[in-house]
Amino acid sequence: MTMQAHVLRNVDRKRVLMKATLINVDGSHDVRVYDLTVSGARIEGKSTIPAGEDVIFKRGGLFVAARVAWSNRTGTGLAFYREVPASELATTFHTVFETV
């Protein structure tokens, strides 16, 4: 693992299960989001999108340009081109359980 990849993996990662849309040159793709951070996401969909491809990640009113960092049969990792503020990410999902 490169140093940059190691740093990216150490950001506050939210485990989620929600639907989103990925838009690329082939059109739009329905995906499930499993992990979400200010710098990227781990998704899974019916279509495999090759590593290095540019995409738009859309969830509700959130649109983020991203690069496919990796892609294999278990899913796809997105690296956002801009860091999304945590407050902006929070608007894309609802907290189901609060820890006390």
Q: Give me Rg for the CA atoms of the chain.
A: 13
At residue 14, the pLDDT reads 62
SS3 content of the chain, % helix, strand, coil (to 5): 10, 50, 40
Choice between 85 and 54, residue whose per-residue pLDDT is larger: 54
At residue 15, the pLDDT reads 65
Per-residue confidence band for 58, with pLDDT thresholds at 50, 70 and 90: very high
At residue 91, the pLDDT reads 76
At residue 88, the pLDDT reads 84
At residue 4, the pLDDT reads 43
At residue 67, the pLDDT reads 97
Q: Domain 3-90 is classified in which CATH homologous superfamily?
A: predicted glycosyltransferase like domains (2.40.10.220)
Out of 46-50, 64-68, 96-100, pick the least confident. 96-100
Q: Would you kindly state where each structural domain of the chain is located, as residue ranges?
A: 3-90
